[in-house]
A and B are shown apart, each in its own frame.
Chain A
Amino acid sequence: MNLTLKIWRQKNANDKGKMVDYKISDISPDMSFLEMLDVLNEQLINSGDEPVAFDHDCREGICGMCSLYINGEAHGPDRGVTTCQLHMRMFNDGDTIFIEPFRAKAFPVIKDLVVDRSSFDRIQHAGGFISVNTSGNTIDANAIPVNKENADDAFSAATCIGCGACVASCKNSSAMLFVGAKVSQFALLPQGQVEATDRVLNMVKQMDEEGFGNCTNTGACEVECPKGISLENIARMNREYLAASLKG
């Protein structure tokens, strides 16, 4: 395939940045989107130009590091995948593809397509854990049975990879799906009950401080989430938050 790429280039956080056009040829439909960018970068390096910076690591959809905004969609046109799992067979010969970083106030651009998502980490520092010593002197794992349905739902919530596609695709740049997923995981397990009140209050407070917007229930996040994290998690978080506010 031959393609035209329009890529956001921005030298550093202070640079204004602009879209730059690149032509690329001989792309095989079996390549992943990131392999296509590898080819472009090899081409740029060989001609003495600077390669395009983008984040990636596992290249199998699990680390949450890759983060491209492709043709106006987080992680591109395919459903239920990350950018590294997106394959060029989703595109046609001659296509023009727009590639931009995830944009949100709480995700400042570092360079080109790389953004800073450490705001997600700070929300986790505020309460994304169960306070238990790591000594191993806990009760036997089977001492508290967990209803399979709850365990499965907790697992589904816990599969969030922290990629930030939900934020990037939300018109308000809200982080509710991400935070809702973590709150839900612990809300559904008996182990997480004791600190439930503090957890949800602290995490939501931090989320607001980081500059994420509010949720107005447009649901774009759920559509773009590569892990199928559902809006139910936002609803559950809101219930938890309300209950905690009343208590607290």
Chain B
Amino acid sequence: MALDSKIPQGPIADKWTNYKNHIDLVNPANKRNIDVIVVGTGLAGGSAAATLAELGYNVKAFCFQDSPRRAHSIAAQGGINAAKNYQGDGDSTYRLFYDTVKGGDYRSREANVYRLAEVSANIIDQCVAQGVPFAREYGGLLDNRSFGGVLVSRTFYAAGQTGQQLLLGAYSAMNRQIGRGKIKMYNRHEMLDVVKVDGKARGIITRNLITGEIERHSAHAVVLGTGGYGNVFFLSTNAMGSNVTAAWKAHKRGAYFANPCYTQIHPTCIPVSGDHQSKLTLMSESLRNDGRIWVPKHMKDVEAIKAGTLKPKDLAEEDRDYYLERRYPAFGNLVPRDVASRAAKERCDAGYGVNATGEAVFLDFASAIERYGKEQATVRHLDVNDAALVKKLGQEVVKNKYGNLFQMYEKIVDQDPYNTPMMIYPAVHYTMGGVWVDYNLMTTVPGLYCIGEANFSDHGANRLGASALMQGLADGYFVLPYTIGDYLSNDIRTGPISTDSKEFEEAEKEVREKIEFFVTNKGQHSVDYFHKRLGKIMWNKVGMSRNVQGLTEAISEIKALRAQFWKEVSVPGSSDELNEELAKAGRVADFLELGELFAKDALHREESAGGHFREDAVELDGEQKGEAKRDDENFAYVAAWEYKGEPSDAILHKEQLEFNDIELKQRSYK
């Protein structure tokens, strides 16, 4: 099947408006006769469920947690972008569009990104009206900060808990509709398959995670807002339950999976401390606004710091290598995530890592504390030469901005970041790849939609900070509610979809068989045993930098691991009760397939783009020497994979990316 992105005609600034003016609408009375399933209640699914219910559709919403309020979006820390230009620093829809396309290394779809930038300002209005308590200035107006990769202050935030506050906003909008009976909420339910009838998505199969009951749910359309698949690496900043199952099952039912290898590695995470570790904790990128990143210049100092004979804060200024400021003077510590991550790895690989494992660099607030302290002393007419006072005042300012993050760091690492620099290292964070969707956010399966982190369209090969929250809410509140109406306008006479058809029966049977297998297969290894091994292969060979040999090995190792899993996995307990191991087994089974496709995708992409760094694609000379080398001539396309059985049989389809409004240029942050 040829990929049709269905991008509307016309100038980019008018596409969305024209589109909305010409689509078919569903009469409000008819909406009552139409059912929509929304899987996932994060920012994307939650905002979509609330809005669809408000429009009048009957919505059934699903999540695997015990409440929609706990979806993974709750963890987002730093902020959400919007082109409001409240700061008057030159922001505009075009500039947000430009930054996002450039930041994504020109691998996202122009029309989608423009629409995203266009609706971004509405998101802030909407959330404030819902009672989201964003940070404010003394005058009572909204405050902004800047984030990696951009030169304007367009990020709205609520301390270090922006995702939490936005999700609680969407959750409250859902609650209003649940209270009115327009959303039926299914907590602790896991979707295990998509059901297609006559080629269209018409329902899902779920498992009630408390009783183990397998259920059939039908609808006129199905929306997936099921988040990212970074947990294929086992260790990541994602919540433990985040998984690829819903997206992968959709893939197996005909939805193409796009750019699986596009993973974002976030530069500011707490380093791995040992084998017991179950997840990695992100330190918000907003810290890079004030923190300076460095490693020692000389190997002897690295060793002294590791040995504990030299305190990092005692190392003289001239003996420190502020490598981001040195290499990228224009952006300094605020370069985009892929650049910052790679630079940290480069220093650590060269031996300058500062913790026991050699995989950490410093993030230092000493100069910010001093700068803020002096400013405060001046404002309050106090003695700017009183070092202790300046430090105290400076610490107060820093505490106001980042207090909860500092506390979190101290709890985990047992060191006080006000007095000694933090240690950070890159970690798997966000997946830019996902289910392929067209401009309508519809997958290659008619009636099956995909929104938020689970789809692929807006971030290209690298996501700039504060743009995932923006995309989730844009999709859910403002885009999908229009586009899905256009599709559903053909369904006003269809009537309720029966779950008694053979399609539902077969899908249910397959789900049951797999579950039966798990609880009866008495193997010798736990599910985590396999997940951890998969994660190691992924991190070592398909992680921050990749080469042909490593990727080829990874593919065959994952294949072998998968075969072993199906022989030797052991799942205790039974299928008709709360059984966390059983739920995990199904998720890891899907990760073991995705992992292989992921490596296969990385292998075929012989260029470095964004977070995806190929060791054989590096700039060899000129100003960009040593930086990642993109290949627009051969790779300016979306790789969309069609399922054909084993991941190795997947067929590649290409959606050529067209850049009519932004010139393809080298991405330079020098």
Contacts and interface: CB of A to CB of B under 8 A. Distances in A.
Do the two shown chains form a genuine complex with each other?
yes
Interface of A: 11-12, 28, 30-32, 34-35, 38-39, 42, 44-46, 48-51, 53, 55-65, 78, 80-81, 85, 87, 89, 110-111, 114, 116-118, 120-121, 124-136, 138-142, 145-148, 151-152, 154-155, 158-159, 161-162, 185-186, 189, 191-192
Given A50-B572, A159-B164, A65 B276 contact: no
Q: Which 6 A-B pairs have the closest CB atoms?
A: A145-B140, A129-B172, A136-B122, A155-B133, A138-B129, A141-B128
B211 to A, nearest CB: 9
Interface stretch (B370-378, B454-462, B574-582): B574-582
A11 B278 CA distance: 26
A11 B241 CA distance: 22
A57 B175 contact: no
B86 A142 contact: yes
Contact of A191 (B50, B131, B477): B131
Contacts of A133: 54
Contact of B411 (A11, A57, A87, A148): A87
Interface string B204-219: 0000001000000000
Contacts of A124: 69, 171-172, 175
A114 B583 CA distance: 15
Contacts of A134: 47, 50-51, 54, 126, 130, 173, 477
Nearest to A55: B66
B131 A185 contact: yes
A126 B128 contact: no
Contacts of B187: 118, 121
A45 B66 contact: no
B281 A186 contact: no
Given A63-B239, A186-B131, A58 B164 contact: no
A112 B313 CA distance: 47
Interface stretch (B70-78, B438-446, B505-513): B70-78
B14 interface: no
A53 B126 CA distance: 39
B574 to A, nearest CB: 10
Nearest to A43: B526
Given A30-B414, A34-B278, A124-B69, 11 more contacts: A12-B578, A30-B274, A31-B274, A56-B240, A87-B411, A110-B578, A124-B172, A125-B175, A140-B125, A161-B164, A189-B133
Contact of B278 (A38, A44, A152): A38
B573 A139 contact: no
B500 interface: no
11 contacts: A12-B577, A39-B276, A45-B570, A48-B572, A134-B173, A138-B126, A139-B129, A141-B84, A145-B136, A148-B138, A185-B133
B175 A129 contact: yes
A57 B70 contact: yes
Contacts of A127: 179
A234 B433 CA distance: 45
Given A134-B54, A192-B131, A111 B577 contact: yes
B128 A58 contact: no
A51 B67 contact: no
Interface in B519-536: 526, 528
Interface string B381-394: 00000000000000
B197 interface: no
Contact of A64 (B69, B133, B135, B414): B69
A59 B161 contact: no
A32 B128 CA distance: 36
Contacts of B282: 60
Contacts of A145: 136, 139-141
B624 interface: no
B65 A65 contact: yes
B17 to A, nearest CB: 14
Interface in B170-222: 171-173, 175-176, 178-179, 185, 187, 210
Contacts of B185: 121
A55 B209 CA distance: 12
A120 B572 CA distance: 31
Interface in B135-176: 135-142, 158-159, 161, 164-165, 168, 171-173, 175-176
Contacts of B297: none
Contacts, number: 214
Contacts of B131: 129-130, 154, 185-186, 189, 191-192
Interface string B242-284: 0000000000000000000000000000000110111101100
A62 to B, nearest CB: 5
Nearest to A30: B273
Nearest to B571: A45
Interface residues of B, number: 79
Contact of B239 (A57, A141, A147): A57
A110 B159 CA distance: 35
Contacts of B133: 151, 154-155, 158, 185, 189
Contact of B165 (A38, A158, A162): A158
A87 B577 contact: no
A57 B407 contact: no
A35 B273 CA distance: 13
Residue among A58, A116, A151 with the highest chain B CB neighbour number at 10 A: A58
B379 interface: no
Contacts of B44: none
Nearest to B273: A30
A152 to B, nearest CB: 8
B408 interface: yes
B172 A130 contact: yes
A130 B129 contact: yes
A151 to B, nearest CB: 4
B469 interface: no
Nearest to B176: A129
B54 A62 contact: no
A140 B124 CA distance: 8
B577 A58 contact: no
B278 A59 contact: yes
Nearest to A81: B411
Nearest to A153: B133
A102 to B, nearest CB: 12
Interface in B220-239: 239
Contacts of A111: 577-578
A191 B130 contact: yes
A51 B528 CA distance: 13
B123 interface: yes
B161 A159 contact: yes
A118 B578 CA distance: 16
Contacts of B65: 57, 63, 65
A138 B581 CA distance: 46
Nearest to A67: B66
A9 to B, nearest CB: 13
B210 A132 contact: no
Given A59-B239, A87-B411, A87-B412, A191 B278 contact: no
Contact of A61 (B276, B408, B414): B408
A85 B408 contact: yes
Contacts of B124: 141
Contacts of B578: 12, 53, 110-111, 114
Contacts of B139: 145
B44 to A, nearest CB: 13
A18 to B, nearest CB: 18
A187 B505 CA distance: 50
B175 A128 contact: yes
B119 interface: yes
Contacts of B277: 35
A32 B135 CA distance: 31
Contact of B123 (A31, A136, A140, A159): A136
A89 B47 CA distance: 40
Contact of B129 (A59, A162, A191): A191
B16 interface: no
Interface string B600-642: 0000000000000000000000000000000000000000000
